[in-house]
């Protein structure tokens, strides 16, 4: 059974891109894989400067992960800061990646540019080293993510291979897994930009907890083009292609098959909105139920952290031993 690991940051409310690009694949894969899924609060620290926010958003995100269908009896769901080995291996990873490699990460360039005159933490720069630790600690064979994480998985592979070359076989070199439809959901108002928690405006972002009427409205107002032809072509027709891909992802078809059913934009927008409402409504009900028992959510996260630690601590011990650090025992 392949081991799978993937994580999500507790920053902002989960959106349709997170769901179609990652969470859905986590849920469908949990029975065929040994699945580990982390809420990476230490990663969120790279852009957090207010006290008392992260704990609440971590609990809400846990409710979201169980609401979308992760089964705590099957998948291991844990909080990154509950498993101290992440920060410990993160340092080893920082010493295995180069300044030049980190400087080439597009996410760092984008995020630091967006923050402009704001505080840019060193953690934002070394972020990929901590992400590599998240993955390599669990001997993950596969990492199911959206397309925007490709460079992070590639650098993780490079780090693993470099470490194995220096200190002997220690880490599994993981593979990226992206979904057939939904790997890059774009903003409904700006269809060339990825749907993102850090977008300037909410109008093109569909949140998992949006009211059905708000979802329908956002789809109705989606930016398209003026040539009137329904065809899947990401470059020439980014708005229409995004709608086709979302509808395809929600109905289990390909975007091309989906395009064949439409000659006009209006019905496509309406059907995409309704398909999303159909998918999200039961998730919203379960979310509200789960948030009604926060003690139980905390208990589930404690169980997850125990299971995660048993794997992570063995990997960290193996890493230290392969480097040849003096044992404390």
Other beta carbons within 10 angstroms of residue 246's beta carbon come to 29
Identify which of residues 17 and 191 has a Cβ nearer to ligand TYM in the complex: 17
The reply on whether position 185 binds ligand TYM by CB under 6 A is yes
Residue matched to tokens 């040849």: 324
Q: State the helix-helix crossing angle for 294-323 and 150-167, rounded to 10 degrees.
A: 40
**Residue (199 or 303) nearer to ligand TYM, CB:** 199
194 is catalytic: yes
Q: According to the binding rule CB under 6 A, does residue 6 interact with ligand TYM?
A: yes
C-alpha span between 52 and 231 (Å, rounded): 47
Q: Are 290 and 63 in contact (CB under 8 A)?
A: yes
Q: Is 217 a catalytic residue?
A: no
Q: Which stretch binds ligand TYM (CB under 6 A): 17-25, 27-35, 212-220, 230-238?
A: 17-25
147: three-class secondary structure by DSSP: helix
CB 302 within 8 A of CB 77: no
**At 120, is the secondary structure helix, strand, or coil?**
coil
Among 175, 194, 269, 307, which one carries the catalytic annotation? Answer: 194
Q: Can residue 224 be called a binding residue for ligand TYM (CB under 6 A)?
A: no
Chain position whose Cβ is nearest to ligand TYM? 21
Tokens of 252: 């289990």
Residue with tokens 């208990």: 299
Instruction: Tell me, residue by residue from 187 to 216, as one string, x for binding to ligand TYM by CB under 6 A and - for no binding.
Output: -------xx---------------------
Q: Which residues are catalytic?
A: 111, 194, 197
Residues lying near ligand TYM in the complex (CB under 6 A) are found at 5-9, 17-18, 21-22, 40, 43, 131, 134-135, 143, 145-146, 148-149, 152, 183-185, 194-195
């Amino acid at each position: 059974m392949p081991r799978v690991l993937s994580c999500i940051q507790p920053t902002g409310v989960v959106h349709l891109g997170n769901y179609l690009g990652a969470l859905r694949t986590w849920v469908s894969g949990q029975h065929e894989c040994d699945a580990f899924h982390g809420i990476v609060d230490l990663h969120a620290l790279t852009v957090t400067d207010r006290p008392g926010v992260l704990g609440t958003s971590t609990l809400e995100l846990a409710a979201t992960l169980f609401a979308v269908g992760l089964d705590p009896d099957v998948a291991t769901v844990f909080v990154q800061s509950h498993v101290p080995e992440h920060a410990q291996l993160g340092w080893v990873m920082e010493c295995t990646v180069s300044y030049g490699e980190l400087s080439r990460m597009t996410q760092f360039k984008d995020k630091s540019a967006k923050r402009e005159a704001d505080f840019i933490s060193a953690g934002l720069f070394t972020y990929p080293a901590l992400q590599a630790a998240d993955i390599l600690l669990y001997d993950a064979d596969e990492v199911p993510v959206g397309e925007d994480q490709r460079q992070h998985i590639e650098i993780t592979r490079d780090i693993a291979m470099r470490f194995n070359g220096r200190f002997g076989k220690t880490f599994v070199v993981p593979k990226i897994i992206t979904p057939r439809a939904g790997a890059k959901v774009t903003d409904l108002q700006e269809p060339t930009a990825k749907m993102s928690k850090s977008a300037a405006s909410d109008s093109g972002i569909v949140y998992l907890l949006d009211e059905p009427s708000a979802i329908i409205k956002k789809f109705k107002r989606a930016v398209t083009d003026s040539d009137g032809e329904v065809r899947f072509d990401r470059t020439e027709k980014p708005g229409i292609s995004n709608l086709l891909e979302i509808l395809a992802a929600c109905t289990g078809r390909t975007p091309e098959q989906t395009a064949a059913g439409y000659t006009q934009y209006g019905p496509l927008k309406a059907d995409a909105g309704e398909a999303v409402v159909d998918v999200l409504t039961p998730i919203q009900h379960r979310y509200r139920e789960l948030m009604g028992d926060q003690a139980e959510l905390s208990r589930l996260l404690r169980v997850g952290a125990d299971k995660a630690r048993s794997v992570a601590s063995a990997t960290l011990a193996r890493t230290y031993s392969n480097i040849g650090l003096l044992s404390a025992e």
